[in-house]
Amino acid sequence: MANSVIKADNLTLAYKVDEPVIKNSSFDINSGSFVFITGPSGSGKSTLIKSFYGALKPVGGELVIGGVSLHDIRPSKLNFLRKYLGIIFQDYKLINEWTIKKNVMLPLLIAGYSKEVCENQAKKLLKHVRLSHKADRYPLELSGGEQQRVAMARALAHNPVIILADEPTGNLDDYSSNLIWNLLVGANEQLGTTVVVVTHHIPSDIRISYRHFHIEDGTIYEVS
């Protein structure tokens, strides 16, 4: 039986204590799963994924990621946990003062790999996302689709246990969208990485078995 890597028990998330975004929800996600989380705008999809990487702490219930409870997690432990996560943001969150290559190297530098190892891995990943020729450019010199491909490469750089993707293909061209879906599926199938994707629409042509959670009125349902 697969291990649970994300487990929520009566989870309540809120920005203001008396206005919960997610209410008393329980679910668990096993290691190696591919999960879609859908829901209308403002339903709390991004809030939920934020809580997975510890940017928002639960106000009620319990949330355990990789065996670590996020309720009263210390900053040093949160940093440790985040080293095992690959995060893709809707707004890319690339460091604009750094080159593309250095951006991809970031998780590896944090993990303490040598510069040479980081550079080789970054080059390999940039080749995967078809951006080798732009390795020394800066994020603002790239299109939105290219920036998201860089963010994808960065999320994969350190072979994370879990990839969390928040609307990874929103507003992207077909070429970049397909490339990103292929990489996410590839990471899940070939490396056994758990992938959690928040999206408005599940691509119709995706060829992988997945679980689907839907958020409505603050409650999370599993869609069978």
Partner 1 sequence: MKSLKNHLSLILPLFSIFFAIEFYIVLDRVIKDYENGLREDYIVLISADREIDKEDLTPYIDVESLEEIDSKSLVSRLEREGISVDFESLKKFMPRFYRIKLEHFPTGDELKRIEDRLKRVEGVKRVETFENSHNKIYNMLIVLKQISKIFLAITAIISTLLIFKQMQVWYLEHRERMYIMELFGAPLWMRSGVLIRLAIVDTLLSLAALYGLFYYLLNAKIMQNLLGVVSLKISLSQIMVDMALLGVFGLAVTLFSVIVVSVRQVGQ
What is the binding site for partner 1 (CB under 8 A)? 53, 55, 75-76, 78-83, 85, 87, 93-98, 106-107, 109-110
Q: Where are the alpha helices (H) located in 41-97, listed in sequence order?
A: 45-52, 75-82
Q: How far is the CB of 153 from partner 1 (least distance, A)?
A: 13
Q: How far is the CB of 155 from partner 1 (least distance, A)?
A: 9
Q: Between 111 and 185, whose beta carbon lies closer to partner 1?
A: 111
Q: Between 44 and 139, whose beta carbon lies closer to partner 1?
A: 139
Q: Which residues contact 73 (CB under 8 A, 6 or more apart)?
A: 54, 57, 81
Q: How far is the CB of 184 from partner 1 (least distance, A)?
A: 18
CA distance 132 to 224: 41
Q: Between 45 and 154, whose beta carbon lies closer to partner 1?
A: 154
Kindly report the backbone phi and psi dihedral angles of residue 144, in degrees, each rounded to the nearest multiple of 5, phi listed first. Answer: -60, -45
* Amino acid (one-letter) located at 172: L
Q: How far is the CB of 11 from partner 1 (least distance, A)?
A: 20
Helix (H, G, I), strand (E, B) or coil at 208: coil
Q: Between 75 and 209, whose beta carbon lies closer to partner 1?
A: 75
CA distance 167 to 46: 8
Q: Is residue 108 within a helix (H) or strand (E), and if so which, with residue range?
A: helix 100-111
Q: Between 59 and 109, whose beta carbon lies closer to partner 1?
A: 109
Q: How far is the CB of 203 from partner 1 (least distance, A)?
A: 26
Half-sphere exposure of 51 (CA within 13 A, CB side): 27
Q: How far is the CB of 219 from partner 1 (least distance, A)?
A: 27
Q: Between 75 and 133, whose beta carbon lies closer to partner 1?
A: 75
* Terminal-residue alpha carbon distance, the chain: 20
